[in-house]
Amino acid sequence: MTAVSDTETTIGFGRVLRKEDVRFLRGKGNYVDDIKLPGMLHGAVLRSPYAHAKIVSINTAAAEAHPKVRAVVTGKLLETLNLAWIPSLSHDVIAVLATDKVRYQGQEVAFVVADDRYAARDALELIEVEYEVLPAVIDAKTALDPSSALIRDDIEGKSDNHIFDWDCGDQEETDQVFDQAEVVVKQEMLYPRVHPAPMETCGAVADMDPISGKLTIWSTTQAPHAHRTLYALVAGLPEHKLRVVSPDIGGGFGNKVGIYPGYVLAVVGSILTKRPVKWMEDRSENLMSTSFARDYHMSGEIAATKDGKILGLRVHVLADHGAFNNTAQPTKFPAGFFHIFSGSYDLRSAYCQVTGVYTNKAPGGVAYACSFRVTEAVYLVERMVDCLAQELKMDPAELRMRNLLKPEQFPYLSPTGWEYDSGDYPRALRLAMDIAGYETLRQEQAEKRAKGELMGIGVSFFTETVGAGPKKHMDILGLGMADGCDVRVHPTGKAVVRLSVQTQGQGHETTFAQIVSEVTGIPIADIEVVHGDTDSTPFGLGTYGSRSTPVSGAACAIASQRVRDKARIIAAAMLECSPEDLEWESGRWFVKGDPSSGKTIQEIALAAHGPLELPDGVEGHLDGQCVYDPPNLTYPFGAYICVVDIDKDTGKVNVRRFIAVDDCGPRINPMIVEGQVHGGLADGVGMALMEAIAFDEEGNCLGGSFMDYLLPTSLECPSWETGQTVTPSPHHPLGLKGVGESATVGSPPAVVNAIIDALSVYGVRHADMPFTPAQVWRTIVGSPMRTDMAFK
């Protein structure tokens, strides 16, 4: 096992300040909206005010007559370029600009290019669009009713709003388990639609050079290489004439995985005007039209013996995908990795069935620290286990402890086909309970209850599946999910590492330098991380689903290992011995038994570029490359405990404590891991207490600004109490598992379980997030609301 360094360091793993913060803290970051090119024009998008309406006519004459307007683009014009529709990430199409009708509020209808942002926005008001309003399909539960309006009449032969049916697990065996079970508990639950809401909204600057034919796109993308290939495939542009640059990105959370109409429109604008065109959406556009997350209506059942042995899980999901199926997930898995819903427990059988439907809402469906729907899966199983505990009148921590997978069961093949790589679950749960003082908390709760006060303790245990993924199982639009890495050591011993993944705030410029440093012994400060520019980095699928460390981190470790291996050969030539005679210590090869006789990596680098005679077949310089196709996913896990106090008269929830024990394998930089966990926990508190995008009956989005879509602040968050266990992944070269989404996956059920635990004195077993004061009070009085609809 790699030693875990929790001290400050200059070489390898350990605590080190983030390299990128030097510029961020000085306000010197370089985001898409900071890009200013000579002659650059500005675009603005006209959006639909209706959720579902036929476009009768569009009159752009007045906008075109505006003195500062350079181009007005409509769907009709895009049709002539064959760009009105583009492929989605899930074998559907999305409209770049609506041609026939609009299918959600906020959908793109026209695009204006003008001299400045103000003029472009002014001109939008000069475009006249005549709509014929159609009935909107807002409630996913009625989307398949024959009486519901047909949303996708653009698809030939389509007669309903059905997208897909998908199932996983052994249905027959699961049914048998349920038929014979002593106890079966059933619960319906909604994981409401939420939004990633990155601090930086989406945008692009497109610059088509009419002379060279080279198109450069600076854009807010988590996957610059995948985007380049998609632009090439969709627009027929030659890939070698395409450069996609993802500069500093102000948060992604999956929101910046896909290609948005605005990016394509910036490109079209640049082609039409022969000038660079910038398009940057505003906050409401981001919230109303870009990739949301969740929106899963789940009906779960759990089977167990009377003494609390969990036997099986069965679930049906109604998945609201919005107006176009544009979720980003591996081709074979239309419900992402939802089928990891059997969670962290040793059970006999599990079966899930997922139905995807269209509604008149914005498309997307996978963003927001999604782990490809592991978030929904963990919420389901962790709520179901609590429902079972309540039914059996058992302590939820004890029920979990009794059913958690045991360390000796790894590698563990789950009932739905996952191979969990490694874990010691009971140890993590016990540690969380110890930090929390679990037994004391339960005593306090009993005392509070006797006084009529509401206090709740919520436990959740999660198993993540990240690092997608093995090429033989996973691709996105035919592109395998492997990542490249290229490490070059300069003659003076400084190094550059080029990555295919792109950071949105995760600290890659620090952690990837630490990986190279860990393997080669080159100081972290001497290693430059290059990423985000397709012209200067190797191909790979990008950063989402917590995949950077498990996939690209492995590529980086192996490329660094190749540098070290080559350094050994060169050192042997320098020392006139055989490579086998050399032994490694951090940053240096030396002769076995003669430690004073050796060469540092810096000396070796200089020699590698000099006149030194190398063995036959060994080329000079000191480089290493790797394309890493992961053999399996990695399975980080954790145990979370949340303590809440609730004002029973106002319904206000106070999250008093939150204990998070995470196991993501060895930690490259514990400080960055803690930061990731803190952020994810805040996300979880936000989703559990306040975040949701609801719609009224006409399809008006009720979460289109930060006044309506609330994000938690530090005042809603307790001082996080974090802990760790370390179980390395057996198949990752450094044992690393990834942590980006762990806390977002694990925390919502802990908060909700705590709230329901508090409210259980009223006989409450479940109500849906978010637990705003109104929802808590309504739950207390026995009439919890549907949180995806307008409150009445």
Per CB under 8 A, residues contacting another protein are: 33, 117-118, 121-122, 125, 280, 282-284, 649-652, 689-690, 694, 702-703, 707-708, 710, 712-713, 715-716, 772-774, 777-778, 785, 790-792
Annotate 122-136 with DSSP letters as a single string: HHHTT-EEEEEE---
3-state secondary structure of 459: strand
Annotate 51-83 with DSSP letters as a single string: SSEEEEEEE-HHHHHSTTEEEEEEHHHHHHTT-
Helix 425-436 × helix 396-403 angle, to 10° = 160
- Whether 524 contacts 517, CB under 8 Å: yes
- Whether 248 contacts 237, CB under 8 Å: no
User: Nearest approach, Cβ of 195 to another protein (angstroms)?
Assistant: 14
Pick the closer one to another protein by CB: 295 or 526.
Answer: 295
Helix (H) or strand (E) holding 14: none
User: Nearest approach, Cβ of 650 to another protein (angstroms)?
Assistant: 5
Pick the closer one to another protein by CB: 4 or 785.
Answer: 785
Pick the closer one to another protein by CB: 148 or 284.
Answer: 284
SS (H, E, C) 152-171: CCCCCCCCCCEEEEEEEECH
What lies within 8 Å, CB to CB, of 629 at 6+ separation is 470, 471, 480, 482
What lies within 8 Å, CB to CB, of 579 at 6+ separation is 568, 569, 571, 572
3-state secondary structure of 448: helix
User: Nearest approach, Cβ of 401 to another protein (angstroms)?
Assistant: 35
Pick the closer one to another protein by CB: 1 or 707.
Answer: 707
Chain CA centroid to CA 36, Å: 29
Residue of 639, 658, 662, 686 whose CA lies nearest to 457: 658
3-state secondary structure of 143: coil
Pick the closer one to another protein by CB: 120 or 601.
Answer: 120
- Write the single-letter amino acid at 755: I
Pick the closer one to another protein by CB: 175 or 708.
Answer: 708
Rounded Cα gap, residues 528 and 513, in angstroms = 7
User: Nearest approach, Cβ of 729 to another protein (angstroms)?
Assistant: 38
User: Nearest approach, Cβ of 322 to another protein (angstroms)?
Assistant: 20
Tokens representing 490 are 């300069």
Rounded Cα gap, residues 326 and 514, in angstroms = 36
Pick the closer one to another protein by CB: 619 or 649.
Answer: 649
Rounded Cα gap, residues 70 and 43, in angstroms = 10
User: Nearest approach, Cβ of 782 to another protein (angstroms)?
Assistant: 12
Rounded Cα gap, residues 759 and 757, in angstroms = 5
User: Nearest approach, Cβ of 781 to another protein (angstroms)?
Assistant: 8
CA atoms in the 13 A half-sphere facing the CB of 655: 32
Rounded Cα gap, residues 292 and 106, in angstroms = 13
Annotate 223-280 with DSSP letters as a single string: -HHHHHHHHHHHH---GGGEEEE--B-S--TTTTSSPPHHHHHHHHHHHHHSS-EEEE
User: Nearest approach, Cβ of 427 to another protein (angstroms)?
Assistant: 36
Pick the closer one to another protein by CB: 624 or 712.
Answer: 712
User: Nearest approach, Cβ of 378 to another protein (angstroms)?
Assistant: 24
Chain CA centroid to CA 296, Å: 16
Tokens representing 453 are 């006060």
User: Nearest approach, Cβ of 295 to another protein (angstroms)?
Assistant: 16
Rounded Cα gap, residues 128 and 125, in angstroms = 8
Pick the closer one to another protein by CB: 192 or 343.
Answer: 192
Place of tokens 């096992």: 1
Alpha-carbon Rg for the chain in angstroms: 27
Pick the closer one to another protein by CB: 32 or 673.
Answer: 32
User: Nearest approach, Cβ of 679 to another protein (angstroms)?
Assistant: 17
User: Nearest approach, Cβ of 158 to another protein (angstroms)?
Assistant: 33
- Write the single-letter amino acid at 741: E
Pick the closer one to another protein by CB: 24 or 118.
Answer: 118
Pick the closer one to another protein by CB: 265 or 335.
Answer: 265
User: Nearest approach, Cβ of 44 to another protein (angstroms)?
Assistant: 9
Pick the closer one to another protein by CB: 24 or 791.
Answer: 791
Q: What is the dihedral of CA 84, 89, 92, 93, to 10 degrees?
A: -10
Pick the closer one to another protein by CB: 54 or 121.
Answer: 121
User: Nearest approach, Cβ of 244 to another protein (angstroms)?
Assistant: 23
Pick the closer one to another protein by CB: 466 or 690.
Answer: 690
User: Nearest approach, Cβ of 224 to another protein (angstroms)?
Assistant: 24
Annotate 304-348 with DSSP letters as a single string: E-TTS-EEEEEEEEEEE--SS----S-TT-TTTTGGGTTTTB--S
- Write the single-letter amino acid at 435: I
User: Nearest approach, Cβ of 700 to another protein (angstroms)?
Assistant: 11
Pick the closer one to another protein by CB: 249 or 519.
Answer: 249
